[in-house]
Amino acid sequence: MAPKCRRVAVLGAGVAGLAAIKTCLEEGMEVVAFESRPCVGGLWSGQKDEWSSTGPSMYRSLLSNTSKSMTSFSDFPCPASYPPFLPHNVFRDYLCLYAKHFQLGKYIQLNTRVLKVMRSEDHASSGKWRLTLSTRLQPEGGEGDSSGRDKVWEEEFDGVIVASGFYSKAKSPDYPGLHTAFPGSVSHSCHYVEGSPYQDKTVLVVGQANSAFDIAVDLSNWAKQVYLSVGDGVCVQSRVDASSGLPFDLSLIRALYYWLSSVQIFRLIGWLANRRCNHRTLGLEYTGNLSWPIVVNDEIQQRILAGKVKILRHLSEFTDSGVITADGRLIEGIDHVIFATGYDRDFSVLDESLNLNGEKLELYKQVFPVHEKHHTLALLGCVRVAGPMPPAIELMARMAAYTLSGRHKLPAADVMKADSDRYNKIALKADGKYRYAFVNLMIYEEIASEIGVAPSFWRLLFSGKPKLAFKIFFGPALPYIYRLVGPGAWQGAEAAMDKAIEENLLPLQNRTLVQKPQEGKSCQAFNMLRFFIMLSFIGFAAFWLCGLFLTHV
What tens digit of pLDDT does each residue of 86-100 get?
A: 999 999 999 999 999
Q: How far is CA 472 from CA 107, 389, 493, in A?
A: 35, 19, 12
Give the pLDDT of residue 243.
Answer: 77
Q: How many domains does the chain have?
A: 3
pLDDT under 50: residue ranges of the chain:
144-145, 522, 549-550, 553
C-alpha 235/C-alpha 273 separation (Å) is: 7
Domain closes at, from 293, 318, 341: 341
The CA-CA-CA angle for residues 107, 112, 115, to 5°, reads 120
pTM of the entire structure? Answer: 0.89
| Amino acid at residue number 171 | K
Q: Is 364 exposed, middle or buried (0-12, 13-18, 19+ CB in 10 A)?
A: buried
Residues 86 and 136 in one domain: yes
Decide if 490 is inside a domain: no
C-alpha 23/C-alpha 405 separation (Å) is: 10
Residues 142 and 243 in one domain: no
Residues 337 and 348 in one domain: no
Decide if 461 is inside a domain: no
Q: How far is CA 312 from CA 86, 231, 284, 316, 504, in A?
A: 30, 7, 9, 11, 36
Residues 270 and 316 in one domain: yes
Domain extent, residue 518, equals 512-553
Domain closes at, from 450, 469, 495: 450
Residues 138 and 81 in one domain: yes
Decide if 74 is inside a domain: yes
| Whole-number CA gyration radius for the chain | 25
